Structure formats: structure tokens, C-alpha cells
Structure 1
């Protein structure tokens, strides 16, 4: 470093020590004055390190955004963030939150993901998670089906997007780090299928409603499988309902294009209670893992209950694999529906039906004869209305 560079560098640090002396030092740096040796003296305890950290973060954000704009072409799924407005938070997750908002005057749900927010994620972790996010976007953007949530767009950098504060009357919107990614989908107003079932856990659902919900979910999964996509986390919490009570499959965070070689798809991906035995056991699997999960969801829709309520995750995992544990089907469940459940959650993936076959079986069910579960006070003798079964 030459003398001139050293002087300029030290002068910059001096300038950060006192807001009152900033203008004077700037003038001297521009040649309007000279720096004395006293002014070159620096005291470490005068440095505002927090302020410097904030400035560094802002600078890195700017560099990141410029890099995103200049180093790669714009993807076809990237949105214009100037058209996106966040309103209120809907849900929180491990690495981010879901907001309700508008995009180009359309009601949307916005999932924001920040994998470095807690300061624990390494650069490798962040890179892996960003790659997974990109995978989700690539999967989702190509889908078009009435039982699949419609993809609107996404962004890999959101530093100029503002998060509304909890108290908008007092606080200004909070800016996001440039590392935050977002995916924008249509807003589904009816909440999750799980919430709907919980609301009806006592009065239960009419048989026609059961078959309608089951058919919607089966049709959506059949479509995904026709596109060689395995959802890998099929559960009622990941299914949304619109105002007409149409089921929409959502959350493709762990979805992926099915591997040609089943051995390339291993690992316990999904949610305990819904995961197929081969997934729990760390064995190779294919799209039939979704069929197993669907069978659990079908039981859940009929019973308006959750499976294995009295068991821990570890107990469920070991019992499903070692003892072939499955939810207990109520005696009042019509045989056609019970048979679909049993076939879908068969321990052998090869024996499980394809989802398009499940659709055909459900379409053949006669709902005019009833068959749905009745409220507890109307059928006190039926074992399935005794102790609550499933979470």
C-alpha cells in the first residue's frame, strides 16, 4: 500500500468515528484541506463495529443483486418484484414464512425463504438449500391442473421487497436480505384440508363429501405422477381448500422428478405417520410412496381424525416397518372405501395401485346409499366413535 492509499484509508476510518466531523474530513480528502498527524491517530474503542457490520451487509446485498442481474440471464419463471405487495403473514416455517399479498392485482400467497437468517447456515448449506428451492420452482412452474395450486412466479433475490411490520401504524416495513428467495402462488382461501377435518372431527362428513375430497386429491396426484413427479410429502396439511371445497395440492418443497433408477431416491423424506415403510427404512422408493401416503389421508378424510395419535414418531416408524402397523379402519366404513385404503397402504409398493386406478375406483363408488361416519351421539355402539383415534 503506497503512502497516498494509506492516508486515504485512515481518513475514511476517522470519518466513521464522528458524524460531526464527516464533512470536514470529506473536504480534506477532496483536496480542500490537509490532514494533520493528529487526525491520523486512530482509537479502536471509537469504532462503531455494529454500524460497520450493517454497512457491510448493505454493500454485500447490493453486490449480490448486481451479480444476479449481470451474471445470469433472467429465468422464465422470475417475477417483477415491483408488482408484488405483501400484506400479512399466514404461517411460519423452519426457514421462512408465508404471506398473503397481491401480484399484478391478483391475490397470491408468497413463501419467503431465508436460510441464513439464524446465522447458523454455512455457505454450503445455503447453496444446497437454494438449489432445492430452484428444484421446487422448476417442478411447480410446469404444472397445470385444477387440483394443483397454480404457480405464479418466483425470485432468487428479494432485497428490494419490503415485509410489512406487525404494527404498520408505527413501524416502517422491514427490508429483506438479498439472499432471501420467494415463490408466489395463487392464494387459496379455505385453509388446509387438515384444518377442515379437525373442525368436523365430531360431526364427521357426509359420504358424498368424503368421496369428493378423496377424488380431488387422487386426481391431483394422478396428474403429478403422469408428469413423473413424486410429491414425497403427501399429507392433509399440504392440501388446501378453495371456496368450493376443491382440494388443491400444495407445498412442493421436497417434490422431485422421479429418478429412472429407484436406488437414486432414498432417505426419510416426508412426515412420520404418512411415510411409506420403504421410505422409513431408508430403502429405494418411487412414486408408490405417494400412493401409500394417500391411503393414510383417505383414512383421515373418512374418520376426520389423525393417524397414530397415541404413538410417538419413533414408535410409529418402527411399528410401520417391523409390525406392519396401519390405522384401524372403522367397522362402519363401506367395503369399497376400506379396500382402497388397504390396497394403497400395502407394505409392498408393487401391490399398491396407480393413482389413476384409484381415481377410477372412487368414481365407481355409489354414494347414494350413504356410508359416511355419523355423529357420536347417533351411533354410540360403533367402536370408531369411542376413544379418539389418531392426531
Structure 2
């Protein structure tokens, strides 16, 4: 950790002048705005083909007061973001990161993703694009989780699309690394519409990795329904009431948007399922496993009870044949199942 911090410090320069003037950059347009920061497209005055995305984080007193931070605390968070990003190397995570601290703002320079954020693609979303962007997002989040890094602010505005039409996760301003021996934290998450139920209920301790999983589920919900989230007390119920959600997307929405963290899929489980199951498997599994939890008294299922792992696997895979049965088992932990009978 100390070595990583030293690397981050070496990549952050402090200037008494303006970042754009010092490096001969011209601001072309604003790419996104959020709180006391914005991301702009900057091009080199000497070489207009050289483009960079620059995140500007204000150090003005009024903006710091809005964030309830001192200048020292804001700079510490900036150093942490750079420190984390400089240790990551993944095609679905933003790269080319450098940091500069100016008198009135901090500038984080990074690779430019030429196709904007997922917000700009919502209305023209197709199943093929959803597959592509969702797969990339899962791959990126699974990668950072494997390194025990929590993103903490996954949302449409923080997922860009690069020149290769791949989704790229950005904005690690709320990210942090979880110690090896710690599983829960007091709070997690940043943007209201993407917060998990346990955070909204202000539970004393939450699993931040499961909070990231829920946010990924909200992003998938947005892509499938082609609209921004707003605030909804139960996204899963909203999805269940929509007749135009195909089986494979509904399958992952059921796994990611569950209100109970213990029954919510991890990103590693989702990644395994994406790698091993084929789309036609999802319809059969949904018909067996993904029924609404609250049913009328006349049709209600018997109370759930704990059963042995072997029994769980049997009734979860009884609709599958041949090689498909063993593939689903990799999605299930030894003593957990996402079907509604358990």
C-alpha cells in the first residue's frame, strides 16, 4: 500500500498555474457534470488529434462546503482515486490516468472514450448492445472486486463507451480498498437511484460488494427498459411487471436486484454464468426459480426452509439436460441458491 501511494504521489503534480494553459490544451466540450466536478474533452493545441478526457474537481470554498470536506480531505480523496486507478489494468476500466492539483481545482487526465456515456445510448439500445455493454461492465467490476476494490458509485453516467464500442467504467472518486479481514462497512454507495435497499434503510453494516452488485443490476434495468432509473422502491417488481424483458436479462435482474443481500448474486457468480450458460437455458430456469415472492394466500408457496446443497442443486437443475446441469451448479455456492424455494 505504501509503495502504491508513492506511485500515486509521483503521478500527481502541484501547479500554481492553470492545467490547460500549462499543457497547451483546449477545452472542446463538456462530457458530463456531477456535483462539484465535471468531465471535459481537451485536445492538444499543437496536435488536434490528441484528445484527453479531463475530470475537474473544484477546490473552491463553496463547493468544498457543499461536499462537507476540507481542502486537505478533498486532496486525500483525489490521491486515493489516483492510487487505485494506477494499480488497475483492464480493458473495461479507464486507463491512462495522471493527476494535477491547481489552485482552484484538481485535474484527473485519462483516456478519452469517444462514444459518450451509456446515457446517450439508452434510446437506441438493442439486445445485442445490452449484451455487449453488460458483459463489459460485469467483467470490469468483477476484476476490481477480485482485488477487493469497491467502486461505490456505479451508474449510467460513469460508464463510457470507447472507440471499440466497449463499456468502460470510470469515476473512482468513491472507491476504496477493503481490508482482507473485513466484510462489512457502515455505509456504501453515493447516488440515490442506485443505492441498495440495505443502504437506504440505513442498516448499521452493509456488504459494499453486494451494493456494487445491486448498482450493476440497476444499470442493466436502465438498459433493458431504455430509461433512467429515477427512484423506485422495488426495481425488481418493476421488471417483473414489464412484459418486454427477454429471459436472459430477466435472469440476471432477478439475481442482482434482490432486496436481501444474502440472496443477491456476487459479480463473480454473474461472470461465471455469463461464461458458461447459453441463452436458451435462462427461460427454463426462470420458469422454475424466479416467481414473485409475495403471492395470494390461495397460491402461496410453502414457507422456505433450509435444505441440503445436493437437494438444492437437484431441483434447481431438474429442467436442464445433459451438460447444462453442471454449468448451472458453478453459479451456486455450496449452501446457497437463488431459487424462491430455498
CA contact (8 A) 2:236 2:253 kept: no
Say if 1:94 and 1:296 are closer, same or farther in 2 by CA, change over 3 A. Answer: closer
Say if 1:212 and 1:117 are closer, same or farther in 2 by CA, change over 3 A. Answer: same
Matched, 1:212 2:132: yes
CA distance in 2, matches of 1:193, 1:352: 24
Matched, 1:302 2:210: no
Give 1:75's aligned residue. 9
Normalised by the size of structure 2, how large is the TM-score? 0.67
Say if 1:301 and 1:364 are closer, same or farther in 2 by CA, change over 3 A. Answer: farther
Say if 1:77 and 1:326 are closer, same or farther in 2 by CA, change over 3 A. Answer: farther
Q: Deviations over 1:191-224 (max 9, x none)?
A: 1112101x32xxx51x322211110110010011
Give 2:65's aligned residue. 121
Give 1:97's aligned residue. 38
Give 1:327's aligned residue. 238
Q: For structure 1, list consecutive stretches of 5 or more residues without a partner in the other structure.
A: 1-71, 159-177, 372-391
Aligned counterpart in structure 2 of residue 357 of structure 1, from 269, 280, 297: 269
CA distance in 1, matches of 2:7, 2:266: 39
Aligned counterpart in structure 1 of residue 252 of structure 2, from 340, 357, 361: 340
Say if 1:262 and 1:107 are closer, same or farther in 2 by CA, change over 3 A. Answer: same
Following superposition, the deviation at residue 125 of structure 1 comes to 2.1
CA distance in 2, matches of 1:336, 1:92: 33
Give 1:110's aligned residue. 54
CA distance in 1, matches of 2:146, 2:244: 34
- Stretch deviating more after TM superposition (117-126 or 269-278): 117-126
Q: For structure 2, list consecutive stretches of 5 or more residues without a partner in the other structure.
A: 1-5, 284-342
CA contact (8 A) 1:268 1:279 kept: yes
Aligned residues: 262
CA contact (8 A) 2:8 2:83 kept: no
Following superposition, the deviation at residue 141 of structure 1 comes to 1.4
CA contact (8 A) 1:191 1:240 kept: yes
CA distance in 2, matches of 1:212, 1:191: 16
CA distance in 2, matches of 1:74, 1:289: 27
Q: Deviations over 1:300-323 (max 9, x none)?
A: 22221233x5xxx5xx4xx35xxx
Give 1:246's aligned residue. 166
Alignment map for 1:42-61 (pairs within 5 Å): none
Normalised by the size of structure 1, how large is the TM-score? 0.59
- Stretch deviating more after TM superposition (215-224 or 295-304): 295-304
Following superposition, the deviation at residue 293 of structure 1 comes to 1.0
CA contact (8 A) 1:215 1:363 kept: no
**Partner SS, residue 118 of structure 1:** helix
Q: Deviations over 1:85-134 (max 9, x none)?
A: 24234144332332222479642111122232538739962222222112
CA contact (8 A) 1:111 1:182 kept: yes
Give 1:194's aligned residue. 119
CA contact (8 A) 1:268 1:280 kept: no
**Partner SS, residue 186 of structure 2:** coil
Following superposition, the deviation at residue 350 of structure 1 comes to 2.5
CA distance in 2, matches of 1:120, 1:152: 23
Q: What is the alpha-carbon root mean square deviation over aligned residues?
A: 3.1
Say if 1:273 and 1:99 are closer, same or farther in 2 by CA, change over 3 A. Answer: closer
Give 2:93's aligned residue. 148
Say if 1:244 and 1:230 are closer, same or farther in 2 by CA, change over 3 A. Answer: same
Following superposition, the deviation at residue 366 of structure 1 comes to 4.2
- Stretch deviating more after TM superposition (226-235 or 72-81): 72-81
Give the 4+ runs in structure 1 shifted more than 6 A: none
Give 1:87's aligned residue. 27
Alignment map for 1:233-312 (pairs within 5 Å): 233-259=153-179, 260-263=181-184, 265-267=185-187, 269-283=189-203, 284-285=205-206, 286-307=208-229, 309=230
